[in-house]
Structure 1
Amino acid sequence: MAKYGLRALALAYLTFLLVVPVMLIGWRTFQNGLGPVLDSLTTPQAQSAFAVTLTVAFWTVLANTIFGVGTAILLVRRDFPGKRLLNAFIDLPMAVSPVVVGLALILVYGRFAPAGGWLESIGIQVIFSTPGMVMAAVFISLPLVVRAVIPVLEELGDDQEQAARTLGAGAWQTFRRITLPGIRWALAYGVVLCLARALGEYGAVAVVSGRLVEQTQTLTLFVEERFQNFDEPAAFAAATALALLAVVTLLLTKILRPKD
C-alpha cells in the first residue's frame, strides 16, 4: 500500500503543479480557435521577440559549447594550481539568483561603469542591447555543457588520445578524430539543455535588456508585457509557443541523454 500511496502522491503533485496549469494555458490559448493565435504570433512585436530570443539563444549555445568543451577537457585532462577552485566556480550560476547576475553585469558594463563607459566610447553598447543579454544567458547556462561532458571524458580515459599523439597526430586532429566522436552524444545533450535554458531565461535578461519593444524584448518578456497590458490572447499564444519549445527540448534531452 505504501508504494501505491507514494505513486498517487507524486502523480497528484505533478498534476496540480505542472499538468493542470499548462493545460489551462493551452485551453485559454485555443478557446477562440486558431485564427487569433496566428494573428497574435505574426504581429511585428511578436516576430521581433521571436527573433531576439533565437539570436540570444544561438550565441549563448555557441559560446557555452566552445567554452564548455574546452573547460571539460582542461578539468579532466590537466592538473594545474586552482583546478578545484575552477571546478567549484563552474557551478556558481546554479547558486546565484539570475537577478543578481543581471545587476552585476550592469555594475561592470553599464554606461557609467569604467569598462562599460570605455566600450561605449568605441561604439560597443553592452547593457540594454544584445551583447548584454547574451552575456547574461551565457552565465546562467554556463555549467550545463561542462557537467554533461566531464563524466564521459572521465569514462573514456586518455589512452586513445595518447596513442594518437604517439603516432604523430596534432592536438586538433586528436580532438577531431578521437575526443569529439567519444563525447558527441553527451555534448549534444548538454547543448540541448543549454538551448532550453537560454530560450526560457527571464530574470537576468530582464535586468540587462531594458525591455525595449521590438529591440531587446525576448519572448518571455513579451509574454509579461502583453499580459500586463491586458492583451491575453497574445500573452497566452506566446506562452504556448514557449511551452511547445520546452516540450520539444524535453524530448530531445530524453533521446540524446547518455544511457549510462
Structure 2
Amino acid sequence: MIGSSRWGLAALTWAIIAVILILPPVLVMTEALRNGAGAPIASLADPDALSAIRLTLVMTALSVLINTIFGVLAAWVISKYRFPLRGFLVALIELPISVSPVVAGLVWLLLFGTQGWWGEALDRMNIHIAFAAPGILLATLFVTFPYVTRTIAPLMEQQGRDAEEAAMLLGASFFQILWRVTLPEARWALLSGVLLTTARAMGEFGAVSVVSGHIPGMTETMPLHIETLYNGYQTVAAFSMAALLALMAMATVGLRSLLEARARASLQTKDTAP
C-alpha cells in the first residue's frame, strides 16, 4: 500500500512538472521551428530584434554588476550587525519580491516621467530617464535587488565574526576582510545569487514595460519585443525570440544548479576530511 502510494505520488509529481514546466518550453521551441530553422534565424537577424537582444544583455550586465556590489554590502550589514530598525531594513530589501513590478514602473514614471516630479527639470537639462535606457536600468535594478542579498546573508550570518575580527586586529581593511575572509567562504552562494539575478533581469517585463515606452529599436528589451511581435501577428518571430530568451534563462539556471551541486560536494568533502 505504501509502495503504491509512493509511486502514485511520484507519477502525479512528474505529470504536474511535465504540464507546467516541460510543456511550455517544448511548445515554444516547436512553434519557433514550425517553418524550419531559416525563419527563426532570419527573424533574429532583424535590426529591431538585434537591438532588443543587445539592450537586454547590456541592462542585465549592468544590473548584475550593481546589485552584486550593493547586495554584498547590504548582506554584510544585516548579517554582521544588530541595530535599530534592522528588521525594517530587511523588509525593505525583500519588498521587490512582494510588490508587483508594474507598481515599481509607475513609481519611476511618477518621479522621472515628463509629467513627473523631476521630469520637467531633467528635460530642461536634456537628461532622459523615463522612456530611455536609464529608466529600464532603474526598473531592472529594483526587481532584482533582493537576490544576491538574500542568498548570501544567511551564510554570512552563520560565519560569525571571529575570523573577521582577527583580520581586523592584524590591520586588514574592510575590503581586504571582505575579499579575503568573508567572500571566499560564501563564493558558491554569491555565484548562485548572481545567476538568479541574471535570470530575473533577462526576463523582467512588468516594470520595464511601464517605464520604457515600448519604442522599437530603442527601448524594447527581449520580453517587450516578444509582445510587440505577437501583437503584430508575427507568430514565428515572436516564438523565435521567446525560444532564445528561454534558452538563455535555462542555461543560467542550469549553471546555477551545477554550481550548487559542486558546492554541496565541496562541503561534503570538507566535512569528511580528517
Which category of TM-score, normalised to the shorter sequence, fits these structures? over 0.9
Look up the SS of the partner of 2:186 in the other structure. helix
Q: Percent identity?
A: 40
- Counterpart in 1 of 2:52? 49
Q: Distance in 2 between matches of 1:239 and 1:53?
A: 13
| TM superposition shift of 1:102 | 0.8
Q: 2:30 aligns with which of 27, 31, 34?
A: 27
Q: Deviations over 1:5-25 (max 9, x none)?
A: 221111111212222222121
| TM superposition shift of 1:42 | 0.7
| TM superposition shift of 1:79 | 2.4
- Counterpart in 1 of 2:144? 141
Are the counterparts in 2 of residues 49 and 222 from structure 1 also a CA contact under 8 Å?
yes
- Counterpart in 2 of 1:164? 167
Are the counterparts in 2 of residues 186 and 256 from structure 1 also a CA contact under 8 Å?
no
One-letter amino acid of the counterpart of residue 28, structure 1: E
Q: Give TM-score, length-normalised by structure 1.
A: 0.96
Q: Is the aligned partner of 1:212 residue 2:215?
A: yes
Unaligned stretches of 5+ residues in structure 1: none
Output aligned runs, 1:101-112, within 5 Å.
101-112=104-115
- Counterpart in 2 of 1:235? 238
Range that drifts further, 191-200 or 78-87: 78-87
Are the counterparts in 2 of residues 105 and 136 from structure 1 also a CA contact under 8 Å?
yes
Q: Distance in 2 between matches of 1:193 and 1:41?
A: 25
| TM superposition shift of 1:185 | 1.4
- Counterpart in 1 of 2:259? 256
Q: 1:245 aligns with which of 231, 242, 248?
A: 248
Q: 1:185 aligns with which of 185, 188, 199?
A: 188
Output aligned runs, 1:46-195, within 5 Å.
46-195=49-198
Q: Distance in 1 between matches of 2:127 and 2:208?
A: 18
Are the counterparts in 2 of residues 210 and 216 from structure 1 also a CA contact under 8 Å?
yes
| TM superposition shift of 1:123 | 2.4
Q: Deviations over 1:144-170 (max 9, x none)?
A: 000111111112221111111111111
Q: Deviations over 1:31-52 (max 9, x none)?
A: 3221111111111011000011
Range that drifts further, 32-41 or 203-212: 32-41
Are the counterparts in 1 of residues 110 and 117 from structure 2 also a CA contact under 8 Å?
no
One-letter amino acid of the counterpart of residue 129, structure 1: A
Look up the SS of the partner of 1:114 in the other structure. coil
| TM superposition shift of 1:118 | 2.5
Q: Distance in 1 between matches of 2:24 and 2:120?
A: 44
- Counterpart in 1 of 2:272? none
Are the counterparts in 2 of residues 130 and 216 from structure 1 also a CA contact under 8 Å?
yes
Q: Distance in 1 between matches of 2:85 and 2:75?
A: 15
Q: How many residues align?
A: 260
Unaligned stretches of 5+ residues in structure 2: 268-274
One-letter amino acid of the counterpart of residue 79, structure 2: V
| TM superposition shift of 1:199 | 0.1
Q: 2:204 aligns with which of 201, 205, 211?
A: 201
Are the counterparts in 1 of residues 34 and 236 from structure 2 also a CA contact under 8 Å?
no
Q: Distance in 1 between matches of 2:230 and 2:177?
A: 52
Range that drifts further, 242-251 or 19-28: 19-28
Q: Deviations over 1:81-106 (max 9, x none)?
A: 21110011111111111111111111
| TM superposition shift of 1:238 | 0.3
Q: Distance in 2 between matches of 1:18 and 1:174?
A: 42
